[in-house]
Chain A
C-alpha cells in the first residue's frame, strides 16, 4: 500500500528511512505506524523511543520472518477487502479499514492477530528500552483530608502486600504541613522540591496529579516549570469551556460517540495561562485527551486524577508520580448525572460532598493506578509505591521488586514524614541533607 502521510521533520525522516520495511507490513499495521509518526511532536520521549525501536526491530527482521509473522493479519485484510481500499491518507485509511473489518465481522479476529503480532515484538523491545539497571521509580498516592477513611478497610485491595509503617503526624496536622513535610520545600530558583530537582532531568519526569490545588501549592509554586502538574480544580475554567462547546454540539445532534470524539479533538480551546505548571503543547493535547477520552473525567475529580495518572504512566513514564485524591461532590438527582450540563439557577439542590463514597472510590482508583503501573515495563520491578492518607498515622509501602507482605513494622517509634521523604530520596539515589530524616529501613534497607 502506497500511503501519502502528512509527515514532517523527524517523522518524515523516519518514514523515509524505514520505507522499505514499512512497505512489507500489512496495510493496517503500516497505517498504524504512520499515524503514530504523524503525532510525533505530541508524543512523549518514551513513546518516540518506542517508535524508533519498533522500526529498527522490524527493519532488522529478515523479510521472510516478517512475512510469516504478519501472515494472519494479511490474510484477514485480504478476506475483508481492506487491501482494495483506495484511501492513501493513513488516518482515513485506518478509519475506513476498521469500519470495513467491523462490517465483515472480522474486526475481533483482526484485532487478535494484531495483538498477537505485537506480543511477540514487545518483549524484545522492552528488554532494549528498559534494561535491568534502569533508574528506580517512585509512585506516591495520597488520600486528601476530608475523605472519610475507614481505618479497618484502608488499602484493602492491597491486602497481603507490602509493609505498613506507623507514622508520627504530630506536626503535620494540616494538609499544607503534611504535604510540605512529605515533599520538602521548593528549592530556591529550582521550581520544585529537592526530591524532584535532584532526581529528574526534565519536567516530564516528575508529575503531580490532584483533585484540588494543595500539592501544586507546595510543590510547584515557582517558575520556570520544573515538573508537570495537573489539577482538576485548576482546570475548571478549561473544563467549563470544553463542556460548553461539547454541549452545544450535543444539542445540535451527534450520530455517535466516535463522531463526537472527532469533533472534540478538532476544538481549539486552551486552558488559561497559569493553569498548568508546564504549559507545553504536548501537555495541552494530553489534558484535552484525558478529558475527552476518559469517561467521567470531566465530571468527577478523582476519576480525572486516576485516568490522568494512568495515561501519564503509560505515555510519559515519569520517574516520580504523586497523586492526591479529594472528596467527590455528591451527584444531584438526575441533573448532575448529565454530561456537559452546567449548574444553573434552576438547580436548587445545593452541591454537597460525598466523603464516604469518595473513600470507596479512591480505594479502587488507587488500586487501578498501581495495577496499570505494574503492567508497564518501565515500572515493573523497579518502583516504590507509597500510599498515605492525610491524618492517618500509617503508611503502606510496596516495592515492586518484593511486593509480598512484609512482617509488621517493628519500629520503636513511628516514622516521621521527613523520614518518609528521606526514604523516597534513598530509593531514588538522591542525597539526603543532614538532619532531614532517616530512611525507613523496612522499606529501603
Chain B
C-alpha cells in the first residue's frame, strides 16, 4: 500500500512536470548543458523557501498558481527534484539545522543551542582557510542567531558564518539612533523607534522569545555600515512590508559588498500560517516566490556571481496535512505533509530544463554544497546530489 502510494506520488510528480513544464521537461542529456565554472570560482546560494510550506500549496499542480516565478522562470532554467523529504524534527531551527549540517538535529527548538554537528560554513572556512566574509547566513527567523556554527570545540566561532538577523539589526540601529537625544525630530524618532521595535519583535508561532547571539560577531564597522544601509532602505517610501523583504535587501547588500562564496538566505514569512489565515499564507508563498526570483535576477546582474553561482531553493520542511490537526496552520504532526518538500537548483553546473523523480533528502543539501565549493563534509548523514556535482 505504502509502495503504491509512493509510486502514485512519483507518477504524479512526473505527470505534473511533463504536462505543464513541457518546454523544459525534455529527454535531454542530464549533464549536457553544464556550465564550466571551476570549483574555485564557484559561489553557492542556498535559499530556504522558508517557514514551512506544503508541497500541495507549491510544487504540486494545484500550487503552481502560488509560485509563478519558480514554475515559469527558474525551473525551466534548472533542475527540479519534486520528491524531497525532511527527516527529523519539524521545527524551524532543527529542520534548518539539518539542511546546513547534513545531519538531523535534536536541539532546543527556539535557538538557545547551536547545531551539534559541523555546519557547511565551518567546514568550508576551516578546510579552505577562508576569512569570515566568505560565509554568511541572513535570516528572518530571529531564533537563528546560533545557526552559523556548531558547538564542537574544533569548529565553532573561529569558523562560523557571519549571521545577520536583519530585523534585530534594525531594532538595535533604531535604538542607537534615538539614544543620542540630539538634533531635530527626536520625538518623532522616539515614536518611530517604539513602533518599530514592537513591530519587528514578531514571532508567528510563539511569543517573542529571546534572541541568542553568537560570540562570533560582526566587526563593528561592518555592522554599522550594514545597519546604515538597512535604515536607509527602511526609510524609503516603498518601505518593506515584511521581514523577508528586509532579509532580501540584506542578502543583496552582502553580495554587493563582500561577494561571499557561500550564502544561506532564510526566508520565513510563510510561517504567518500560524495565524490561521490561509490567504495570508498563500500571499507569503507568492512573496517568497517573487523574492527568490529577484534574488536570482540580482545574481544575473552581478559580475561577481553571474555564470558562477549555483542557487538551491528548498523548503526546510512542510506543514501539516489537512487531516492532521489544524492543517496548514501548523507543522507539528510530523506526518508526510510535514516532511514532503522539493528542491530547485539553477545556475552554474546545473543541467538546464530537467528534473529527476529520484527521492532526495534535505540532508543531502549540505554535502552537495560541499562538493560544489570543493570541500569535504564529514560526519554527515546526507549524500551529494549526483545530478549537481
Measured CB to CB, the residues of A under 8 A from B are 102, 105, 108, 246, 249-250, 253-257, 260, 294-297, 299-300, 302-303, 306-307, 310, 328, 331, 333-335, 337-341, 344, 346-347, 354, 356-358, 360-361, 363-365, 367-368, 371
* Cα A434 to Cα B23 with chains together (Å): 67
* Cα A357 to Cα B201 with chains together (Å): 25
Q: Is the CB–CB distance between B191 and A346 below 8 Å?
A: yes
User: Which residues from A are CB-within-8-Å of B196?
Assistant: 334
Q: Is the CB–CB distance between A334 and B277 below 8 Å?
A: no
Q: Which of A294, A338, A371 contacts B276 (CB 8 A)?
A: A294
Q: Is the CB–CB distance between B207 and A255 below 8 Å?
A: no
Give the shortest distance, in Å, between A245 (CB) and chain B (any CB).
12
User: Which residues from A are CB-within-8-Å of B210?
Assistant: 253-255
Q: Is the CB–CB distance between A296 and B276 below 8 Å?
A: yes
* Chain A binder among B67-75, B321-329, B360-368: B321-329
Give the shortest distance, in Å, between A360 (CB) and chain B (any CB).
4
User: Which residues from B are CB-within-8-Å of A256?
Assistant: 108, 110, 112, 206, 209
User: Which residues from B are CB-within-8-Å of A344?
Assistant: 194-195
Most chain B beta-carbon neighbours within 10 Å: one of A256, A297, A360: A256
Give the shortest distance, in Å, between B280 (CB) and chain A (any CB).
7
Give the shortest distance, in Å, between A330 (CB) and chain B (any CB).
10
Q: Is the CB–CB distance between A295 and B209 below 8 Å?
A: no
Closest-by-CB residue of B relative to A292 is B207
- CB contact list, B166-192 vs A, under 8 A: 191-192
Closest-by-CB residue of B relative to A374 is B323
User: Which residues from A are CB-within-8-Å of B203?
Assistant: 339
Encoded as 1 (CB less than 8 Å from any A CB) or 0, chain B from 214 to 244 comes to 0000000000000000000000000111110
* Cα A328 to Cα B275 with chains together (Å): 12
- Is B278 part of the binding interface, using a Cβ–Cβ cutoff of 8 Å? yes
User: Which residues from B are CB-within-8-Å of A335?
Assistant: 195, 198-199
Q: Which of B192, B272, B329, B334 contacts A337 (CB 8 A)?
A: B272
Q: Is the CB–CB distance between B274 and A364 below 8 Å?
A: no
Give the shortest distance, in Å, between A380 (CB) and chain B (any CB).
14
* Cα A339 to Cα B274 with chains together (Å): 12
* Cα A357 to Cα B286 with chains together (Å): 14
Q: Is the CB–CB distance between B207 and A295 below 8 Å?
A: no
Q: Which 6 A-B pairs have the closest CB atoms?
A: A303-B276, A296-B275, A357-B279, A257-B206, A360-B279, A295-B274
* Cα A310 to Cα B328 with chains together (Å): 15
Give the shortest distance, in Å, between B196 (CB) and chain A (any CB).
8
User: Which residues from A are CB-within-8-Å of B256?
Assistant: none
User: Which residues from B are CB-within-8-Å of A306?
Assistant: 276
* Cα A303 to Cα B272 with chains together (Å): 12
Q: Is the CB–CB distance between A328 and B195 below 8 Å?
A: no
Give the shortest distance, in Å, between B311 (CB) and chain A (any CB).
27
Query: Can you name 7 A-B pairs with beta carbons within 8 Å?
Result: A296-B274, A296-B277, A302-B276, A334-B196, A338-B198, A357-B283, A361-B279
Q: How many interface contacts (CB-CB < 8 Å) are there between A and B?
A: 127
Q: Do A338 and B199 contact each other (CB < 8 Å), given the known contacts A294-B276, A295-B330, A371-B322?
A: yes
User: Which residues from B are CB-within-8-Å of A371?
Assistant: 322-323, 327
* Cα A341 to Cα B108 with chains together (Å): 27
User: Which residues from B are CB-within-8-Å of A105?
Assistant: 106
Q: Do A260 and B326 contact each other (CB < 8 Å), given the known contacts A335-B199, A357-B277?
A: no
User: Which residues from B are CB-within-8-Å of A296?
Assistant: 274-277, 329
Q: Is the CB–CB distance between B276 and A307 below 8 Å?
A: yes
Q: Is the CB–CB distance between B207 and A334 below 8 Å?
A: no
* Cα A365 to Cα B281 with chains together (Å): 13
* Cα A410 to Cα B196 with chains together (Å): 59
Q: Is the CB–CB distance between A339 and B277 below 8 Å?
A: no
Q: Is the CB–CB distance between B276 and A254 below 8 Å?
A: no
Give the shortest distance, in Å, between A148 (CB) and chain B (any CB).
11
* Cα A357 to Cα B210 with chains together (Å): 32
Q: Is the CB–CB distance between B323 and A295 below 8 Å?
A: no
Q: Is the CB–CB distance between B202 and A339 below 8 Å?
A: yes
User: Which residues from A are CB-within-8-Å of B277?
Assistant: 296, 300, 302-303, 328, 357, 361
Q: Is the CB–CB distance between B191 and A257 below 8 Å?
A: no
User: Which residues from A are CB-within-8-Å of B323?
Assistant: 371
Most chain A beta-carbon neighbours within 10 Å: one of B106, B191, B239: B106
- Is B64 part of the binding interface, using a Cβ–Cβ cutoff of 8 Å? no
Q: Is the CB–CB distance between B276 and A341 below 8 Å?
A: no
Instruction: Please name 15 further chain A to chain B contacts, defined as beta carbons within 8 Å, in addition to the given A300-B275, A346-B194, A361-B276, sorted by A numbering.
Output: A105-B106, A250-B201, A254-B210, A296-B277, A300-B277, A333-B241, A334-B240, A337-B202, A339-B202, A339-B208, A340-B208, A363-B278, A364-B278, A364-B327, A365-B276
User: Which residues from A are CB-within-8-Å of B330?
Assistant: 295
Q: Is the CB–CB distance between A257 and B276 below 8 Å?
A: no
Closest-by-CB residue of A relative to B334 is A108
* Cα A346 to Cα B209 with chains together (Å): 25
Q: Is the CB–CB distance between B195 and A254 below 8 Å?
A: no
- Is B200 part of the binding interface, using a Cβ–Cβ cutoff of 8 Å? yes
User: Which residues from B are CB-within-8-Å of A303?
Assistant: 275-277, 329
Q: Is the CB–CB distance between B207 and A260 below 8 Å?
A: yes
Q: Is the CB–CB distance between B209 and A254 below 8 Å?
A: yes
Closest-by-CB residue of A relative to B275 is A296
Closest-by-CB residue of A relative to B322 is A371
Q: Which of B192, B204, B205 contacts A346 (CB 8 A)?
A: B192
User: Which residues from A are CB-within-8-Å of B242?
Assistant: 333-334, 337
* Cα A358 to Cα B280 with chains together (Å): 10
Give the shortest distance, in Å, between A309 (CB) and chain B (any CB).
12
Encoded as 1 (CB less than 8 Å from any A CB) or 0, chain B from 301 to 340 comes to 0000000000000000000001100111110001000000
Closest-by-CB residue of B relative to A363 is B278
User: Which residues from B are CB-within-8-Å of A367?
Assistant: 322
Q: Do A257 and B207 contact each other (CB < 8 Å), given the known contacts A334-B199, A364-B327?
A: yes
* Cα A341 to Cα B386 with chains together (Å): 49
- Is B285 part of the binding interface, using a Cβ–Cβ cutoff of 8 Å? no
Give the shortest distance, in Å, between B285 (CB) and chain A (any CB).
12
Closest-by-CB residue of A relative to B278 is A364
* Cα A344 to Cα B277 with chains together (Å): 24
Q: Which of A255, A333, A334, A357 contacts B280 (CB 8 A)?
A: A357
Give the shortest distance, in Å, between A342 (CB) and chain B (any CB).
8
Q: Which of B110, B192, B275 contacts A257 (CB 8 A)?
A: B110
User: Which residues from A are CB-within-8-Å of B272?
Assistant: 337
- CB contact list, B342-359 vs A, under 8 A: none
- Is B372 part of the binding interface, using a Cβ–Cβ cutoff of 8 Å? no
